[in-house]
Chains A and B, each alone.
Chain A
Amino acid sequence: MSLISLKNVTKQSNGVTDLKNINLNIDSNSKIGIKITPSASKTLFELISGNIPISSGSIVKNTDSIIYELQTDGFYDSFTVKKYIKLFKKISNADNKYLNYLQEFSIEDIWNTKIKNLSSDQKRRISLFRMFISAPSLILIESPLTNLTDEGIELYLKAVDFIRNFHITVLFTSYYMEELLLLSDEVYRYNDKLGLEKIDIAEEDDTTNDDSGEKFHPQNVFKVACKMADKTIFFSPDEIDFIESINSVSNIRIGDEYYPSSLTMNDLEEKLAHFGFYRCHRSYLVNLQRISELISYSRNSYTLILKGSNKEKLPLSRTKMEDLRKLIES
């Protein structure tokens, strides 16, 4: 069942476009993640919950019990966890049975602690519990894992799974892809020119879309061709930071720019393997020369951080970790 569906939704305020061309269908029990900036995320949440009107497009809502949390949301610091939760329990007229689930959120041990003495890991889980007890059908959360420790992330993911068992749909937004990959199955990216685009997490088909026109070319000379309007641009492999698959199109990323390529990820992987490219994730092909750091946010996931001013982060599947290590060390 579809909870909310947005069609061509655009929001402008004071002559500035905050959100453009949003097409999104939130089904119940779906696990959607959206890569989006914090300010756009706030606008999106307010639109979905009906706090602000849309400028154009349409929203069909099949539920009104929506609650959302932004990363900057505050707490009453002088309150204990118990008092804080009781306040919101009273506001939402929640059932007492919810107080039996403290352990699932790992907050039983801090029940009588003042909120100002808690870590951000714990605060995040309290906030999640607060939303859970109001028994909404849809929860929207912005960047819950940012600044959390590994243990904090693990406990938070456990609590999110627990909430999802109650048929509460949880949608996440974040600016960081790896956060979304941990929290959701279906990931979209917001582009302020094109709107929402689905990122292919599933393996794409092995299409035989090879460039047979180029019959022979000297070994080790390869340029990636990108067609932009009426011209074709060629990039040397060493210029490319990484390649990302969006809506089944491989996008060459150089600095801050994206250039779509007509080749599939599989073709590119095959061709670029000689130039030190590695398929670190189903949707990502990374130039190994650009890697600067490897971080593990939780036991099951790793993140590659690239060189350059914007320190782009790419997910690395756990199964690929060993391969990559061998590649780099050999």
Chain B
Amino acid sequence: MNLSLRKINAIFQLKLQSIITNVSIMVAPMLAVGFVLIMKISMPKEVMTGAFLLGFGVLFNAIMGGIMTGSYPLAEEKEKNTLRVLMTSSVNGAEFIIGSIIPSIIMIIIVNIILVPIAGVSMDKINWPIYLIYTTLSGFISILIGYIIGIYSKNQMQAGNLSMPILLIFTMTPMFQMINKTIQNIASYTYSGTIINFINNMLTIKYTVDFKDITVLMTWLILSIIVFIYAYSKHGLDSE
């Protein structure tokens, strides 16, 4: 399969614009920033620690935002029959996917950085390389999950219905962790749980790179890539 940088660039610009102008996608990063800001201002400092706020914001942005930027635009292109027009204009599936993942990733990274000062965490407390790698990886996993949902849905409504339970499970991970030890243990094997634990540990005790965290993230990454490739090769992007 030939990849053309020119076409990827064209898709990149197209997607950048469609993400920014699509309110239902932008709601995730805006909620992430907005909620963190509101909670920081309105709640007592003892409850709303920097770790809690940052973890909350990253979950909203990387997990919810990632799944939404993956599924909604793809479903919208299918619903409005514009994906077909691109495909008949010699854009292939890989070019389309690469061109559309890049703007989503960039947006997730930028918001993850902005969240640090907004959550009131001082810049030097963050282990930047690991923070960026972990949060970007989880964003990437979410985008892939979003694409899998997008492949299986015909329109935006269906994409919304399919992504809602998955969104809830992953963004609510910290709340589930509070229920009991067993669930906390299970949650630590989800990629969202890993991110939360990492942020908590980084800001409370010193974080050292943990073998389990890396294994969990990598397993999720590989799994989502495999499922994505399976769905893509079986149905293509524009299945009917």
Q: Please list the residues of chain A having a beta carbon within 8 angstroms of any beta carbon in chain B.
A: 49, 51, 67-70, 72-79, 87-88, 90-93, 130, 134
Contacts and interface: CB of A to CB of B under 8 A. Distances in A.
B207 to A, nearest CB: 43
Nearest to B91: A91
Given A67-B88, A76-B18, A92-B90, A87 B82 contact: no
B19 to A, nearest CB: 12
Contact of B82 (A49, A68, A74): A74
A91 B7 contact: yes
Nearest to A140: B88
Q: In terms of DSSP, what is the predominant structure of the interface of chain B?
A: helix
Contacts of A67: 88-90
Given A75-B85, A90-B13, 14 more contacts: A68-B88, A70-B81, A73-B81, A74-B81, A74-B82, A75-B80, A76-B18, A78-B18, A87-B10, A87-B13, A87-B14, A90-B9, A91-B90, A134-B90
Given A87-B13, A91-B7, A91-B10, A75 B89 contact: no
Nearest to A77: B80
B6 interface: yes
Nearest to B80: A74
Contacts of A77: 80
Contacts of A70: 81, 84
B14 A74 contact: no
Nearest to A65: B90
A119 to B, nearest CB: 18
Interface of B: 6-7, 9-11, 13-14, 17-18, 21, 80-82, 84-91
24 contacts: A67-B88, A67-B90, A68-B88, A69-B88, A73-B81, A73-B85, A74-B80, A74-B81, A74-B84, A74-B85, A75-B80, A75-B82, A75-B85, A76-B14, A76-B82, A87-B14, A88-B89, A90-B7, A90-B9, A90-B10, A91-B10, A91-B11, A91-B90, A92-B90
B88 A49 contact: yes
A87 B15 CA distance: 11
B127 to A, nearest CB: 40
B144 to A, nearest CB: 25
Contacts of A68: 88
A115 to B, nearest CB: 11
The winner among A51, A91, A134 for most chain B CB atoms within 10 A is A91
Contacts of B17: 78-79
Nearest to B84: A73
A92 B89 contact: yes
A77 B80 CA distance: 10
A105 B236 CA distance: 34
Contacts of A51: 87
B182 to A, nearest CB: 46
Contact of A91 (B21, B80, B84, B86): B86
B5 to A, nearest CB: 11
Contacts of A78: 17-18, 21
B96 to A, nearest CB: 11
Contacts of A134: 89-90
Contacts of A75: 80, 82, 85
B85 to A, nearest CB: 5
Nearest to B95: A91
